[in-house]
Amino acid sequence: MIYKFFAKFFYLPRMRRLDREIGCSLKFNYIPADFIQSIMTCEMTKTWKNFGLDIIKGKNHFTIGKIENGVSSRFIKDSIAYQSWLGAYTVRLASEKMFSPQDHFKLAIADQNSWLRWYGDQHPITTTEGFTPINTEELVLGNFKGTLYEFGCQTHSDVGATRLTRKLLYAADGEAVLYSLGNPMLHFKPKNFVPKETDKPYETIDLQGYIAIFDIKPNVKVVLYANGTKETFPQLKDDLLAFLRGCKITE
């Protein structure tokens, strides 16, 4: 109850101020049925700066697989939403220098490795080596035009924690509260975001999906992302594209 009070009256207003500091905000008008019908947000400024990226402010928006049998299907290996992310980054850069597609991918690499650490992986690995981004089309969202890439990476699964660390419980608490605040029809508990034990902890997997890059201003970027695993991507790709095309960008 205290955590929910803090999130509602302190955390969410802070996220709205962060939108103003970055210079844009996002609204997601379509979330596929296999995913939680809410978007969680968090600040990523420190994570990205520590990764060496030249930014002033950064924010993440994301959702994961819906709850099945008491746990998010992101953690269920035979689910279509296994290890899938849908979301976006908003970033204000420290300068107007060129930010290459590879720099944009670094946002996701830093994010994924940070998430894996929250979920107990002491040696996270995320690499795009061996994967060549494919420029597929121009993506138009209202007044903004972006470039859509199909991409892939190799990383670890976040399923593997054999004990409930304080860090994992804190993350699960946050997800339960923030997803529920994003959609009052949802009522989650922290245990919904704690994976079941597995005999293949933090296994290496290939992810495949889309990234769409928008230059809002010379130093303000929006990066939409949506992915599945290499195995689920063919089934998910239409829904992933619909999610991206349903985003609204506002300055």
Buried b / exposed e across 60-99, counting CB within 10 Å, b at 16+?
A: bbbbbbbbeeebbbbbbbebbbbbbbbbbbbbbbeeeeeb
Predicted confidence (pLDDT) per residue in 44-65, tens digit: 999 999 999 999 999 999 999 9
pTM of the model: 0.96
**pLDDT tens digit sequence for 173-201:** 999 999 999 999 999 999 999 999 898 99
